[in-house]
Amino acid sequence: MTQRALLVLTSHTELGHTGRGTGFYYDEMAAPYWTIRDLGWHITLASIAGGPGLPDPKTVVEPDKRPPNVARFMDDPDAMGQLETTLRASEVDGADYDCVFLPGGHGAMWDFDHATVGQIVTDAWASGAIVGAVCHGPSGLLQAKETDGSPLVQGKRVNSFTNRETEQIELMGVEPFLLETRLRELGALFECSENFTSHAVKDGRLITGQNPQSTAAVCRLLHETLGSL
C-alpha cells in the first residue's frame, strides 16, 4: 500500500502591521515535498484556507535564482496543480497519513497556532505518523497533544525559529508571539544553533528544524526516517 504524507501550508499573507506580504516559504515546502515524493509516497497539500497555496512573495524569485527544489516544483505541472488546489485543513483527517509536515513562513505564526492544525497533528501522532516542521512551522505543534492529553512537545528535543533570530530581523512585536518562548513554556527541550545557521533535531517520530538554512538537514532526517519504514 502506498504510504501517504500531508503538507500543511499557512494561508496568512500579511506580515503584521509592516505593510509587507508573507505566506509559506517556498523551499521549506518544495524540499520536503520532493524528499517524500521521491520515496514513492503519495502527497496531499493542504492549507488553512484551502484553494491556491500562497507563498511568501520574497521566495518567488527569478528562475536563475531559484533553489533546485523550488525550480523543480515550479517546472512540474502535477506539483503546481496540487498547489493551486490545496485541501482546506479543517477537512483533513490527520489519522489518514503516515507523515505530516509543517513548512514555515512567517504567516504560520498567525494561523498555525489553532485547534485545526493541532488536531491534525494530534490525530496523526496518535496513529503513529512521523511529524516534521521547520522554521515557523513548529507553531503548528503548539496545540498538538500526546495521547494522554499532555503537550506533544513536552519533554521532547525541539527547535524552531528563535527569539534571537526574530530580534535580528526586527520582527519583535510584529509577530503575535515568540515561538521559542511558547515551545519552552510547553516543556519542550529547546535547542538551537547560532542565528541563521543550520540546526535540525530528531526525537523519536518528531523532526524539527530551526530556520530556512536548516531545511536541507531536516530533509536528510526525514529521508532517513521515512526510508526506513
For residue range 181-190, what is the model confidence (pLDDT) as tens digits?
999 999 999 9
Of 18, 199, 225, 67, nearest to 132 by C-alpha is 225
User: pLDDT tier at 95 (50, 70, 90 boundaries)?
Assistant: very high
Structure confidence by residue, pLDDT tens digits, 168-179 = 999 999 999 999
Which residues on adjacent β-strands are paired with residue 157? Answer: 189
Does the pLDDT at position 156 exceed 90?
A: yes
Residue of 26 and 229 predicted with greater confidence: 26
User: pLDDT tier at 1 (50, 70, 90 boundaries)?
Assistant: confident
Of 135, 174, 94, nearest to 10 by C-alpha is 135
User: pLDDT tier at 107 (50, 70, 90 boundaries)?
Assistant: very high
Residue with cell 506539483: 79
pLDDT on residue 58: 96
AA letter at 3: Q
For the chain, which residues make up each domain, given as ranges?
A: 4-227
Chain centroid, CA 154 distance in Å: 19
Does the pLDDT at position 56 exceed 90?
A: yes
Does the pLDDT at position 41 exceed 90?
A: yes
Percentage of the chain exceeding pLDDT 70: 100
C-alpha cell at 193: 544553533
Q: What is the homologous superfamily of the domain 4-227 according to CATH?
A: Class I glutamine amidotransferase (GATase) domain (3.40.50.880)
Among the residues of the chain, which ranges form H helices?
26-37, 68-74, 77-84, 108-111, 115-126, 163-168, 179-185, 215-227
Strand bridging mode 200-203 / 130-134: unpaired
Structure confidence by residue, pLDDT tens digits, 60-92 = 999 999 999 999 999 999 999 999 999 999 999
Cβ count within 10 A of residue 84 = 11
Structure confidence by residue, pLDDT tens digits, 202-225 = 999 999 999 999 999 999 999 999
Strand bridging mode 42-47 / 4-9: parallel
pTM (two decimals): 0.98
